[in-house]
Amino acid sequence: MPTESKDSESVVPAHEPWKAFNVRSQHRMDTKRDAVLQTAAKLYLEKGYHKTSMSELASRLNITKPALYYYFRNKEELLVECYRAGIDSIEASLREAGDCQGTGLERLRAYVESYATAIATTDFGRCVPMLDDAELSSPARRQVRDLKRRIDAAIRANIEQGIQDGSIVPCNAKLAAFAIAGAINWIGTWYQPGGGLGAEEIVSEFSRLLISGLAPRS
């Protein structure tokens, strides 16, 4: 019987341990970077963008300012990344709502619930409607405003579909969409996690109030 030569044995490349180390190091850096970003979002929502300094952010994180600049170059970059994280969280929720099948009213309810959930449950989601996008660079500002237009267009399309299929009473779809988006965005100004109302209760009640006004009376 032929014997297997040593040359055919599997050998772990010498660089693999370093690769694993690099992956772990990258993971630790990403975790710390996320912590900086989450803390920045909280401060921006609590105090506003202009009143939040990098020194205060470093103090809140219990790190030095040079350490903070290792993860983000400046305060504007932090704001842009907060917006991007918020856009990602909102769009992830709305993609699920987009898969809903049914009448225009049913699709609108799913969309309202998903949007309200993104705003009420994440600081990043709240950043999108609550922070001033005029502070952003032009490319980032376009991204934020494109998202807002897509949200408005989807709400309006569902209302128009509902009017056509009879599940929503005839109304001005544009004004109705503005009213719904405005009401949901306003959650960010007064909702505080850990307060008297839970996020699920807020989402459920907002959905009921906003949708019932559009449903036909029996």
E strand or H helix that includes residue 2: none
How many other CB atoms are found less than 10 A from the CB of residue 149? 10
pTM exceeding 0.85: no
Q: Are 177 and 157 a contacting pair, CB within 8 Å?
A: no
pLDDT exceeds cutoff 80 at 12: no
Q: Tell me what the mean pLDDT of segment 103-116 comes to.
A: 92
Same fold, 16-72 and 84-218: no
Q: What is the CATH number of domain 16-72?
A: 1.10.10.60
Report which DSSP code applies to 14: T
At 13 the pLDDT is 52
Mean pLDDT for the chain? 83
Q: Is 28 left (phi over 0), alpha (psi -120 to 50) or beta?
A: alpha
C-alpha distances (whole Å) from 32 to each of 26, 108, 133, 169, 205 are 10, 38, 25, 50, 36
Please give the CATH superfamily to which domain 84-218 belongs. Answer: Tetracycline Repressor, domain 2 (1.10.357.10)
Which one is predicted more confidently, 128 or 4? 128
State residue 17 phi and psi, 5-degree precision. Answer: -55, -40
Q: What is the pLDDT of residues 161-199, one digit of tens each?
A: 999 999 999 999 999 999 999 999 988 888 777 777 888
At 27 the pLDDT is 52
3-state secondary structure of 103: coil
Cα 207 vs. chain centroid, distance in angstroms?
19
Q: Residue 211: CB partners within 8 Å, gap ≥ 6?
A: 105, 108, 109, 112
Q: What is the pLDDT of residues 19-68, one digit of tens each?
A: 554 445 455 557 888 999 999 999 998 888 889 999 999 999 999 999 88
Domain boundaries, the chain: 16-72, 84-218
Q: What does the block give as tokens for 154?
A: 């989807």
